Amino acid sequence: MFPGLREKMGPCFMNKLAVAAVLLCSAPAGGYVYQMISDCEYSDDITDVVYFVKNVFNQKLNNIYDSRLGTYVGFGEYGMINANHYNNQSWKMKLRKQEVETLCRYNARLFRKSILDRKVPPNVKVRQTKPADYGERSTLECSVWGFYPQEVMVSWLRDGEEVTTDVFTSDVLANGDWSFQFHSYLELTLKRGERVSCRVDHSSLKESLEVEWDTFPVDVRRAKLAVGIVFFLVGLAVAAGGAGYYWWKQRFHGSRLSS
């Protein structure tokens, strides 16, 4: 390998594959296109890898190198001739074995750091989906967002006891920035003094994250209603007092005038 090529090859490898895929699908009409496409296929935990080198002529697979076999395999007469030719080139076979390390396993270390080993804790918020008072049927939403990886567990608790009925959930949704979001809903009849919370378990957390529903908005609405009723009664009393005073004044002055 040339000096510095190994360091440059990892970050550029995926770009080369993308360009090759575009070219494969856009061969010029009436022309000829011969392509060599390198392909690393990993297991779920990125520990096992299979390296392929595909030679394609006008969108038709001619031959392929398979790292599991350590040789080229040809397709069709021309492909088998090429495969046999490549297998007899010791420098090419040595290079293909090196590329398993310099291309596939090198990038696997980058992928592991940026994907498998990446942990981002979730943000959690609990709210009512629409205003409701105590004694009324309502729906609470537990929004969990900004976390990575996507595996997450969300549960509802009422006074410390897990609730499994009247619970509805969304799918885990990708945000497009290497993070995810999830929403869980609980239908219930609101009770004063009851503690309702959302519990989230995620690999980025050392322990479960529990967020309690804040009843302040409901209490504020009730307080506003109570204050409104008080002001209404005070206003009604003032109006009644004023009417009584007016009636008394009219009667008193009317009696004095008649005498």
State pTM to two decimals: 0.53
- Higher local confidence (pLDDT), 221 or 1: 221
Give the strand order in the sheet containing 196-202.
161-163, 152-158, 196-202, 209-212
Mean pLDDT of the region 38-45: 86
pLDDT digits (tens, 9 = 90+) for 200-225: 999 999 999 999 998 875 654 555 55
Query: Can you list the domains of the chain with their CATH numbers?
Result: 5-116 (3.10.320.10), 123-218 (2.60.40.10)
pLDDT of residue 233: 58
Q: Nearest CA to 20 among 59, 65, 50, 63?
A: 59
Mean pLDDT of the region 85-96: 95
Going by C-beta distance under 8 Å and a sequence separation of 6 or more, which residues neighbour residue 51? Answer: 38, 39, 40, 41, 65, 66, 67, 96, 99, 100, 103, 104
pLDDT digits (tens, 9 = 90+) for 114-157: 777 789 999 999 999 988 888 899 999 999 999 999 999 999 99
pLDDT of residue 117: 79
